[in-house]
Amino acid sequence: MIEAKFAVLRATNATEEQKRRWQGAVRLSRAFNAADKYVFSLPMWNFGIPYILKHYIDIVTLPGENWLWTPGEGYSGLLQGKRAALIYSSAGDYPVGLPSHDKDFQKPYMRTWLGFLGIDDLVEITAAPTLASPEAVAAALARARNEAERLAEGF
Ligand SMILES: Cc1cc2nc3c(=O)[nH]c(=O)nc-3n(C[C@H](O)[C@H](O)[C@H](O)COP(=O)(O)O)c2cc1C
């Protein structure tokens, strides 16, 4: 898929198989781009996002479909006027102000990727910690559920 991407983008001698694969990526990208609103629900895996989601992102993020680069203007995202809700979970807690905050590559990654595509109207809900005392986990989940119910009314 990656070889196909560069063969097609650089207009080198893409094989029929590479062109077919590229069309598959374009189809997935267009399905993604067609949405007005997005809901991502993702756990933290080793401080970042799960590789399955990263794989999806690497396939659907395509120049000419949802972002552009020009010599004059550099990068620009093509997905304007869309909203995204991000529901995060993690065993630990990574709030602003704690040393653990610097280890959180889950939320900054999602914000950066969506911002790159032009989606900067984001709402975020964090269900964390999920590995703590039963009381702390119950409180975290109740808080997240409340926020999700409020969000669902206006999203
Ligand atoms: C492969 C893997 C890696 C994980 N890495 C982290 C991590 O770096 N930090 C963390 O706080 N939790 C980590 N967790 C825990 C999950 O984020 C946590 O269990 C979360 O509640 C899972 O979400 P879910 O209950 O919605 O599936 C990891 C879990 C798995 C399976």
Instruction: Tell me the mean pLDDT in the region 120-146.
Output: 98
Instruction: Yes or no: say if 110 and 116 are a contact pair by the CB < 8 Å rule.
Output: no
Specify whether 49 is located in the same domain as 66: yes
How remote is the CA of residue 43 from the centroid of ligand 1, in Å? 5
Specify whether 28 is located in the same domain as 41: no
Residue nearest to atom 19 of ligand 1 (CA): 91
Ligand 1: residue of 40, 41, 42, 45 to mutate (most ligand atoms within 8 A of CB) is 45
The domain that contains 54 carries what CATH number? 3.40.50.360
Q: Which of 3-7, 54-58, 115-119 has the lowest mean pLDDT?
A: 3-7
Specify whether 2 is located in the same domain as 72: no
How remote is the CA of residue 128 from the centroid of ligand 1, in Å? 10
Specify whether 70 is located in the same domain as 95: yes
Tell me which residue range forms the domain holding 19.
1-34
- Domain count of the fold of the chain: 2
Specify whether 60 is located in the same domain as 10: no
How remote is the CA of residue 109 from the centroid of ligand 1, in Å? 16
Specify whether 116 is located in the same domain as 46: yes
Kindly tell me if the per-residue pLDDT of 7 is higher than 90: no
- Summarize pLDDT for 61-79 with one digit per residue, the tens: 998 999 998 999 999 999 9
